[in-house]
Amino acid sequence: MRVAIFASGNGTNFEALADDQKLKDAGLEIELLVCDQVNAPVIDKAKKRNILVYVNSLKDYPDRHLYEQAIIDKLAPLKIEYILLAGYMKVVTTTLLSKYAGRIINIHPSKLPKYSGLDSIERAFDAHEKETGVTIHYIDEGVDTGPIIRQETVPIFADDTVETLEARVHEKEHQIYPEVVLELLNK
Ligand code: GAR
Give me the CATH code for the 2-186 domain, please.
3.40.50.170
Q: Residue 4 in 3-state DSSP?
A: strand
**Protein residue whose Cα sits closest to atom 5 of ligand 1:** 87
Query: Beta partners for 7?
Result: 35
**What pLDDT, on a 0 to 100 scale, did the predictor assign at position 83?**
98
For residues 143-147, average pLDDT: 93
CA distance 43 to 52: 9
Kindly state if the Cβ of 146 falls inside 6 Å of ligand 1.
Answer: no
Q: Is 108 noted as a catalytic residue in this protein?
A: yes
Kindly state if the Cβ of 174 falls inside 6 Å of ligand 1.
Answer: no
Kindly state if the Cβ of 9 falls inside 6 Å of ligand 1.
Answer: yes
**Protein residue whose Cα sits closest to atom 4 of ligand 1:** 108
**What pLDDT, on a 0 to 100 scale, did the predictor assign at position 3?**
98
Q: Which residues contact 32 (CB under 8 A, 6 or more apart)?
A: 4, 5, 51, 52, 53, 54, 74, 75, 78, 80
| Domain residue spans of the chain | 2-186
Kindly state if the Cβ of 87 falls inside 6 Å of ligand 1.
Answer: yes
For residues 88-96, average pLDDT: 95
Q: What is the pLDDT of residues 71-91, one digit of tens each?
A: 999 999 999 999 999 999 999
State the pairing for strand pair 131-138/148-155: antiparallel
Q: Which residue among 170, 171, 172, 174 has the greatest number of ligand 1 atoms within 8 angstroms of its CB, and so is best to mutate?
A: 170
Kindly state if the Cβ of 86 falls inside 6 Å of ligand 1.
Answer: yes
Catalytic residue among 65, 108, 170, 174: 108
Is the per-residue pLDDT at 141 higher than 90? no
Does this model's pTM top 0.75?
A: yes
Q: Which residues contact 58 (CB under 8 A, 6 or more apart)?
A: 36, 64, 67, 90
